[in-house]
């Protein structure tokens, strides 16, 4: 049996569905108590918010593999009084508590959905992060993921439970939220965007490609005790991304050329600097190790991934 945590989430729901309906696994998914059970495509167990105090014995009974997608996700404006403590509690301590209980129950493999933010925030020039680079987390969310990775490796060394770590960049697809949803709204409304002068390169991953890699990590022998980066295999500049996404939305894209320093100054004055910095900077991932060890290639293209995201947006009229 496979346990998928966060099975009503953006990644967890399609993953649980794929494992159960397409791959034939017996899947149990944990969902938040506030979520409707109908949101989960498999047999679900309502759970409280992530905490090291959770007793996972019922969920772990008969489980051979865990895919841990549940997390306190990164947000640009965190309302928590102590964000670092909140991230560490949910993403580090709760993860290690689950892994420790899993090892005691005889779980053979623990697949952990981490983040490329563990590697860092920006790549320079033509450089790209690799899975084996020295980590450089810069904010509480990334630090909590890095600490969880370190703790999982120690548990693996001590107990023999296999650990697989997957670090994605921005994940997009039907139902995407946060900054990606904002971009689709801008484009749908025909808002002129002062982003035409940006010359960067960013790696993205369609949720379908990420799910496919997670399924591979569940069953591939070579995945054991490895760390993998994942992307669509094609990096895009911000103007390229907006142009392709506009085409998928069937909307004209209005990009205004503005010098990047001026754009950043304006963003700082309007309180949007963090968003602008991400739109202007590069973040490239080298997925050659993932391809080589797992004989894996992204099953869908960037164009197809963006089309699916756009179709999901249009179908839900999220404007």
pLDDT tens sequence across 232-250: 999 999 999 999 999 999 9
Rounded to 5 degrees, what angle do the CA atoms 200, 206, 210 make?
A: 115
Please give the mean pLDDT across all residues of the chain: 92
Residue 307, domain member (yes or no): no
The whole-angstrom separation of Cα 199 and Cα 236 is 10
pLDDT at 48: 79
pLDDT band at 40 (very low <50, low <70, confident <90, very high): low
**Range(s) of the domain holding residue 64:** 2-172+205-233+286-299
Q: How many distinct structural domains can be found in the chain? A: 1
Tell me whether residue 99 is in a domain.
yes
- Asked whether residue 108 is assigned to any structural domain, the reply reads yes
Whether 141 is catalytic is yes
pLDDT of residue 81: 54
> Does any domain span residue 178?
no
Question: How confident is the model at residue 267, as a pLDDT?
Answer: 84
Contacts of 182 (CB under 8 A, 6+ apart): none
137 domain residue, yes or no: yes
Judged against a pLDDT cut of 70, whether residue 317 lies above it is answered with no
Residue 27's DSSP bridge partners are 2
Q: Is the confidence at residue 290, as pLDDT, over 70?
A: yes
Interval 186-215 mean pLDDT: 96
Residue 64 clears pLDDT 90, i.e. is over it: yes
Per the residue annotation, which of 141, 172, 188, 273 is the catalytic one? 141
Which phi and psi (to 5°) does residue 28 adopt?
Answer: -120, 135
The distance of Cα 149 from the centroid of its chain, to the nearest Å, equals 15
Residue 260 in domain = no
Contact, 32 vs 47, CB < 8 A?
Answer: yes
In terms of DSSP bridges, do strands 65-68 and 43-47 run parallel, antiparallel, or are they unpaired? unpaired
Output the pLDDT for position 37: 54
* CATH number for the domain that contains residue 93: 3.40.50.720
Q: Determine the average pLDDT of the residues in 309-316.
A: 94
The three-state (H, E, C) secondary structure of the chain, written as one string: CEEEECCCCCCHHHHHHHHHHHCCCCEEEEEECCCCHHHCCCEEEEECCCCCCCCCHHHHCCCCEEEECCCCCCCCCCCCCCHHHHHHHHHHHHHHHHHHHHHHCCCCEEEEECCHHHCCCCCCCCCCECCCCCCCCCCHHHHHHHHHHHHHHHHHHHHCCEEEEEECCEEECCCCCHHHHHHHHHHHCCCCECCCCCCCCECEEEHHHHHHHHHHHHHCHHHCCCEEECCCCCCECHHHHHHHHHHHHCCCCCECCCCHHHHHHHHHHCCCHHHHHHHHCCECECCHHHHHHHCCCCCCCHHHHHHHHHHHHHHHCCC
pLDDT bracket for residue 275 (50, 70, 90): confident
| pLDDT tens, position by position, 120-156 | 999 998 899 999 999 999 999 999 999 999 999 999 9
pTM of the model as a whole: 0.94
Residue 109 lies in a domain: yes
Is 278 part of any domain?
Answer: no
**109 or 38, which is more confident?**
109
How confident is the model at residue 271, as a pLDDT? 86
């Amino acid at each position: 049996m496979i346990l998928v945590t966060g099975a009503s989430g953006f990644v967890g729901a399609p993953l649980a569905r794929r494992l159960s309906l397409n791959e034939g696994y017996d899947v149990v998914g944990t969902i938040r108590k506030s979520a409707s059970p109908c949101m989960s495509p498999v047999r679900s167990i309502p759970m409280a918010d992530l905490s090291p105090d959770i007793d996972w014995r019922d969920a772990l009974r008969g489980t051979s593999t865990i895919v841990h997608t549940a997390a306190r996700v990164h947000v640009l404006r965190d309302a928590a009084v102590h964000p670092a403590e909140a991230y560490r509690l949910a993403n580090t301590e709760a993860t290690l508590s689950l892994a420790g209980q899993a090892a005691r129950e005889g779980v053979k493999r623990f697949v952990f959905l981490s983040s490329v933010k563990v590697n860092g925030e920006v790549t320079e020039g033509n450089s790209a992060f690799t899975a084996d680079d020295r980590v450089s987390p810069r904010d509480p969310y990334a630090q909590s993921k890095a600490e969880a990775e370190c703790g999982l490796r120690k548990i693996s060394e001590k107990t023999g439970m296999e650990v697989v770590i997957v670090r994605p960049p921005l994940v997009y697809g039907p139902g995407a939220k946060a900054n990606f949803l904002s971009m689709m709204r801008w484009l749908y409304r025909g808002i002129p965007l002062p982003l035409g002068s940006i010359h960067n390169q960013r790696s993205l991953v369609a949720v379908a490609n990420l799910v496919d890699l997670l399924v591979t990590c569940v069953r591939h022998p070579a995945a054991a005790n490895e760390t993998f980066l994942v992307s669509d295999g094609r990096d895009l500049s911000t103007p390229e991304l907006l142009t392709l996404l506009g085409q998928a939305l069937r909307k004209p894209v209005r990009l205004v050329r503005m010098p990047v320093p001026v754009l950043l100054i304006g963003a700082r004055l309007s309180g949007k600097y963090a968003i602008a910095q991400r739109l202007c900077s590069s973040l490239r991932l080298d997925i050659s190790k993932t391809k080589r060890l797992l004989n894996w290639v992204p099953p869908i293209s960037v164009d197809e991934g963006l089309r699916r995201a756009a179709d999901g947006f249009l179908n839900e009229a999220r404007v």
